């Protein structure tokens, strides 16, 4: 079950039994998304606060319910300084709920979610994810069909060093919840990591269909999210026409859900379609205007992809003036992300800035400066890693480093860069082609 449907179901339970504390707990929990990038919308925050207010007047029916209610209340407490503090407070209380109820599967699964949501960045994240994965593996032995355990295990293993441990969960999740769009999509996180494009495409096709079938007045963001993954997969299989058809079909829909997931897909898919095929002139000519369903000012990290494509396309067609204008715009978007506490996305945007600057340097004949900047962009992007919201960076900086080395007459070093790209993103068509 997904957040929108979950909130509706808990709402029905609250109507049927106004004194049911767990119904209000469910509404409160459905209005923040621990593993999603960004923060809850104003409407979600208002609904969550309303449910938390009702919870404060209720008496849960057991110690377990009280512990879960306390965790939700910790998130919505009024004295937090920003979303990360709220998330940390919830995670600590969720861990306490598990410690007080060590034999309860749901409490254990939610505690695992809390640990994943608050894991640090960099290499330490892999260590935390591995330990959380160990705990989820043990839970799976006890409750092999528990959808939360399967779901969170896929998230734990959605990274290069742990991806193989995610395969057993990827193979069963679509059967555990065969009509849930997000459950149909989630195994594709692992198959994208392993480069199994056919499986990823099939699962995301089913996910997109399920999202359309269950959408009401607006098309759930699960549809666009699945389409972006499909577009990526088709491009890796050399099926550019099908990828373009999917992009056109998605962009033709007027009533997309105005969420981060939808915004990301609507921004990324058209851009990756151009960049993966090296359509530099078309990328340089991209209009700043984007899909009308999204309040783009709320999602600067998605707008940045458009300006990155425009700047890179311009630099690679020797339009230095347009490229520099794109760098300036990217800088303002990066600053907005920093002010909003979106440090991960600000770092990725810094990498995009370095990449465009690198290709401007190359266009102006400054090979050494170009390589220095592109290497820095690749190191930064590799260290940051890929967010689950995307099947892959719209064009990996390490791969572009290989392009630059090749352009400067260093084929052996270029091959090393392409192999490094494939180590993180197996079966990427563009890097494979460069190795031939």
Q: Given a cut of 90, is residue 82 above it in pLDDT?
A: no
Rounded to the nearest integer, the mean pLDDT of the chain is 95
Cα separation, 191 vs 428, whole angstroms: 13
Which residue reads 């940045």 in tokens?
Answer: 304
Strand partners, 219: 256
Q: Given a cut of 70, is residue 217 above it in pLDDT?
A: yes
- Amino acid 58: pLDDT: 93
Cα separation, 69 vs 345, whole angstroms: 32
Cα separation, 423 vs 416, whole angstroms: 11
- Amino acid 5: pLDDT: 85
125 by Cβ neighbours in 10 Å (0-12 / 13-18 / 19+) ranks as middle
Cα separation, 153 vs 112, whole angstroms: 9
- Amino acid 179: pLDDT: 87
Cα separation, 210 vs 204, whole angstroms: 10
First to last CA, the chain: 45
**What is the greatest pairwise CA distance in the chain?**
73
Cα separation, 200 vs 155, whole angstroms: 16
- Amino acid 307: pLDDT: 99
CB distance 385 to 396 below 8 Å: no
- Amino acid 176: pLDDT: 87
Q: Which domains does the chain have, with CATH numbers?
A: 240-436 (1.25.40)
pTM value surpassing 0.85: yes
Cα separation, 273 vs 265, whole angstroms: 12
In this structure, what token pair is assigned to residue 299? Answer: 């999602």
Coil, helix or strand at residue 219: strand
Q: What is the pLDDT of residues 336-389, one digit of tens each?
A: 999 988 899 999 999 999 999 999 999 999 999 999 999 999 999 999 999 989
* Spatial CB neighbours of 25, under 8 Å, sequence gap ≥ 6: 10, 51, 55, 65, 68, 69, 72
Q: What is the pLDDT of residues 111-131, one digit of tens each?
A: 999 999 999 877 889 999 999
pLDDT confidence tier of residue 285, bands split at 50, 70 and 90:
very high
Cα separation, 279 vs 416, whole angstroms: 24
Sign of the alpha-carbon torsion through 92, 96, 90, 390: positive
Q: What is the pLDDT of residues 159-197, one digit of tens each?
A: 999 999 999 999 999 998 888 999 999 999 999 999 999
- Mean pLDDT of the region 282-287: 98
Q: Which of 256-260, 375-379, 409-413 has the lowest mean pLDDT?
A: 256-260
Q: Given a cut of 60, is residue 1 above it in pLDDT?
A: no
91 HSE (CA, 13 A, CB side): 17
149-156's contacts with Cβ under 8 Å and 24+ in sequence apart are 149/105, 149/109, 149/112, 150/176, 151/183, 151/186, 152/109, 152/112, 152/113, 152/116, 154/186, 154/187, 154/189, 154/190, 155/35, 155/116, 155/189, 155/388, 156/112, 156/116, 156/129, 156/130, 156/132
Q: What is the pLDDT of residues 5-63, one digit of tens each?
A: 899 999 999 999 999 999 999 999 999 999 887 788 889 999 999 999 999 999 999 99
CB distance 188 to 181 below 8 Å: no
**Distance (Å) of CA 172 to CA 116, 149, 185, 239, 361:** 21, 12, 12, 27, 49
Q: What is the pLDDT of residues 296-339, one digit of tens each?
A: 999 999 999 999 999 999 999 999 999 999 999 999 999 999 99
CB distance 20 to 13 below 8 Å: yes
In this structure, what token pair is assigned to residue 124? Answer: 């330490």
Cα separation, 18 vs 146, whole angstroms: 28
pLDDT confidence tier of residue 228, bands split at 50, 70 and 90:
very high
Which residue reads 């050494």 in tokens?
Answer: 368
- Amino acid 123: pLDDT: 80
- Amino acid 216: pLDDT: 87
Cα separation, 54 vs 327, whole angstroms: 48
- Amino acid 357: pLDDT: 99
């Amino acid at each position: 079950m997904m957040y929108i449907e979950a909130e509706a179901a808990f709402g029905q339970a609250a109507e049927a039994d106004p004194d049911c504390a767990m119904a209000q707990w469910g509404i409160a929990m459905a209005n923040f998304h621990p593993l999603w990038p960004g923060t809850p919308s104003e409407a979600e925050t208002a609904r969550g606060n309303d449910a938390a207010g009702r919870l404060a007047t209720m008496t849960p029916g057991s110690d377990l319910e009280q512990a879960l209610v306390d965790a939700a209340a910790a998130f919505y407490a009024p004295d937090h300084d920003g979303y990360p503090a709220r998330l940390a407070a919830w995670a600590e209380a969720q861990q306490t709920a598990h410690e007080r109820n060590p034999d309860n599967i749901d409490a254990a699964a939610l505690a695992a979610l809390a640990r994943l949501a608050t894991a640090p960045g960099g290499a330490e994240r892999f260590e935390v994810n591995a330990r959380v994965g160990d705990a989820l593996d043990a839970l799976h032995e006890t409750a092999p069909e528990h959808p939360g355990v399967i779901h969170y295990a896929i998230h734990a293993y959605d990274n290069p060093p742990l991806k193989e441990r995610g395969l057993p969960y990827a193979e069963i999740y679509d059967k555990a919840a065969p009509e849930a769009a997000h459950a149909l999509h989630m195994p594709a996180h692992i198959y994208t990591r392993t480069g199994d494009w056919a499986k990823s495409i099939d699962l995301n096709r089913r996910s997109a269909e399920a999202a359309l079938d269950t959408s009401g007045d607006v098309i759930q963001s699960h549809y666009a999210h699945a389409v972006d993954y499909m577009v990526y997969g088709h491009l890796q299989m050399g099926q550019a026409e099908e990828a373009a058809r999917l992009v056109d079909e998605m962009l033709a829909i007027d009533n997309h859900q105005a969420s981060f997931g939808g915004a990301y897909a609507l921004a990324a898919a058209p851009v990756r379609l151009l960049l993966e095929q090296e359509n530099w002139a078309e990328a340089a000519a991209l209009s700043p205007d984007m899909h009308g369903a999204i309040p783009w000012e709320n999602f600067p990290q998605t707008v940045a992809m458009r300006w990155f494509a425009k700047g890179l396309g311009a630099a690679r067609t020797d339009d230095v003036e347009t490229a520099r204008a794109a760098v300036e715009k990217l800088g303002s978007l990066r600053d907005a992300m920093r002010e909003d506490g979106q440090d991960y996305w600000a770092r990725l945007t810094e990498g995009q800035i370095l990449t465009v600057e690198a290709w401007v340097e190359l266009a102006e004949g400054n090979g050494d400066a170009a390589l220095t900047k592109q290497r820095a962009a690749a190191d930064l992007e590799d260290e940051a890693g890929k967010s689950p919201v995307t099947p892959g960076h719209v064009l990996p900086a390490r791969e572009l480093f290989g392009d630059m080395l090749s352009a400067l007459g260093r084929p052996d070093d270029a091959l090393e860069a392409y192999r490094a790209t494939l180590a993180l993103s197996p079966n990427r068509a563009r890097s494979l082609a460069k190795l031939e």
